[in-house]
A = this chain, B = another copy of it.
């Protein structure tokens, strides 16, 4: 006889079903749409069942964040292995970063726009590993480690500023979006390679 299935399809065990529903809700309504009870009722179980598979709601969200970083890393690292000089590569990488943010704003939101106290329990080392793609900005500068790290952070800040303001709809809509993005990516290149007061660089 078949191994006695529960009411749910065993091909998608509960944990995966919960994750899948969380993805759907996130993509359709952003972070605000994620609630344990809503997930549970869509999946066909009770809210507390969620805690059999995830330590907390936060840790469920961390799983989604990980998925987001996986995609971001894939996109960025793909592009970073392309051809061309460092400046053009950096612009391509920057473009890939911005594209990810604008194409998957809900993922970007939980990855980079949640307030710190809501992220407290996200393991620091996991976060560092997850942010792998951000190091690419630094590496492309080919500067000494500390200088490179600073330039990388500057590039990241620059891109993050635009992406988060666009997602939050704070930028004047009368501005030509793609021109703005182009200019800013160019500007990020300047931030990475142009002469800064602090030292080593090339024009």
Contacts and interface: CB of A to CB of B under 8 A. Distances in A.
Contact of A175 (B150, B161, B184): B150
A12 to B, nearest CB: 30
Contact of A191 (B159, B171, B187): B187
Interface in A61-110: 109
Interface stretch (A14-22, A39-47, A112-120): A112-120
A191 B184 contact: yes
A179 interface: yes
Contacts of A187: 154, 158, 187, 190-191, 194, 196
Interface string A119-144: 10000000000000000000000000
Given A150-B176, A162-B157, A113 B115 contact: yes
A196 B191 contact: no
Number of chain copies forming the complex: 2
Contacts of A197: 182-183, 186
A149 B172 contact: yes
B165 A160 contact: yes
Contacts of A176: 150
A183 B154 contact: yes
A116 B180 contact: no
Contact of A161 (B118, B161, B180, B182): B161
A171 to B, nearest CB: 6
A113 to B, nearest CB: 7
A120 to B, nearest CB: 10
A168 interface: yes
Given A150-B175, A156-B161, A30 B115 contact: yes
Contacts of A196: 183, 186-187
A4 interface: no
Given A149-B175, A154-B183, 14 more contacts: A30-B117, A115-B168, A149-B172, A150-B176, A153-B171, A153-B172, A153-B180, A154-B162, A158-B184, A161-B162, A161-B164, A187-B194, A190-B194, A191-B191
